[in-house]
Structure 1
C-alpha cells in the first residue's frame, strides 16, 4: 500500500501517464488512426496486386497481337465484333435467369 501511495505521489509517474494517454488518444498518430492506416495499406496492397496482374495480362496480349496476325484478327473479331465485308456477325446472349 505504501508503494502504491509513493507511486501516485511521484511526478514522473504522472508525466509518463499523461504522455501515454496523450499518445493513445489525442495525438494525430493515435491508435485509431494507426488502425485506419493499416486497413488502408492492406486495401492498397490488394489493389496493387490486382493491377500488376492486369498489366501482365495486357502486356502478354499485346505481345501476342503484335507478333501474330492471326491472333490479331481473332482478337478484333471477338472483342470488337469486327467483320469482313462479305460476312454477317450474330451475337448470341445467354439468359442466365434460368
Structure 2
C-alpha cells in the first residue's frame, strides 16, 4: 500500500509541475500583434474596444436571485487586451497598449 501511495504522490507531483510550468509562460504581445495591426488602432480606447472579448461566469447578486430565482446565471464580458484568454481590467489594457506603443515607436 505504501508503494501505491508513493506512486500516486509522484504522478501528482509530475502533473502539478507540468501545470505550473505551463502557467508561467508569458505571452510576448509583440509576437501576437504586429506593427501593421497596431497601426490600425486610433487610440487606447479603440484598442480596448477591438480586443477579443472574454466572458466569465460570476456569482449572482441577491437581487438577481430574488428576481430570477436560484437557477439564475450571471456573466460578465470584457476585453482580453494581452491575448492570454483572461479578462483584463482597464489598467492592464492601458499597460499593454503603452508597451506596444513603446515597441513600435509610434
Q: TM-score, normalised by structure 2?
A: 0.31
More strand by share: 2
Q: TM-score, normalised by structure 1?
A: 0.34
Q: Which has the higher contact order (CA 8 A, sep 6+)?
A: 2
Q: Who wins on radius of gyration, i.e. which is larger?
A: 1
More helix by share: 1
